[in-house]
Amino acid sequence: MPAILTIPPVVEPLSLAEVKDHLKVETIADDALITRLITTARQQVEKQINKVLINQSWAIYLDNWLAYGEVELPVSPVNQINNLRTFSIDDIASIVDPSHYYADLVSDPQRLILRGSRIWQKPGRPANGIEIDVTAGFGTEGDSVPGPLRQAMFLLITHWYENRQPDCSGAPIVSVTSALQALLAPYKRVRL
């Protein structure tokens, strides 16, 4: 089930001013570098915890409905289902009535559940016949992202900013790795 980012976040969880203050940088000489590090740190944290930090839009595609009437959403935390549609063999979209399904946004993983005796509209298109448009993230502002995840970003940015050359010694960076994992562990999805 592919999930494709359709609208990236408008802001980052950390502002350039916050990061420069944290790094004790007073000039503008490294602003472009620091801005790239902020984005890279967000993406790295998102990858590690398999969740997106700041609101962004995603399109999730399925070929067909699952037999038991439930769809697990691969992007989280979803805070809104914007559209659910199926496509005909001629690529004509039909919106699925929201009263036909329940969006369980509390469970982990989050899911769509078919209500009662209703049935899903069958897609005509054999591949990616179902599209679910969602908004996912902890919120629209940097402060809506949990503190430990923001701190993990600060940790990564500081490490990358202060260690711009590759470490050729072969020694593992244990202090950064263990601190990062401690900050991220509560937010990782546990698979049983």
Average pLDDT over residues 156-168: 83
Residue 174, pLDDT > 60, answer: no
| Fold assignment, 3-53+141-187 | Hypothetical protein yqbg (1.10.3230)
Q: How far is Cα 138 from Cα 12, in angstroms, rounded to an integer?
A: 12
Residue 58, pLDDT > 90, answer: yes
Percent share of the chain, pLDDT over 90: 78
Secondary structure class of 22 (helix, strand, coil): helix
> Which residue is listed with tokens 């699925």?
96
The strand ranges marked E within the chain are: 3-7, 56-62, 70-72, 78-87, 93-95, 101-104, 111-114, 130-136
Residue 170, pLDDT > 60, answer: no
Residue type at position 108: D
- Break the chain into its structural domains and give their ranges: 3-53+141-187, 56-136
| Res 171: pLDDT | 52
What confidence tens digit (pLDDT) does each residue in 76-102 have? 999 999 999 999 999 999 999 999 999
pLDDT category of residue 145 using cuts at 50, 70 and 90 = very high
Residues 6+ apart with CB under 8 A from 5: 56, 57, 58
pLDDT category of residue 119 using cuts at 50, 70 and 90 = confident
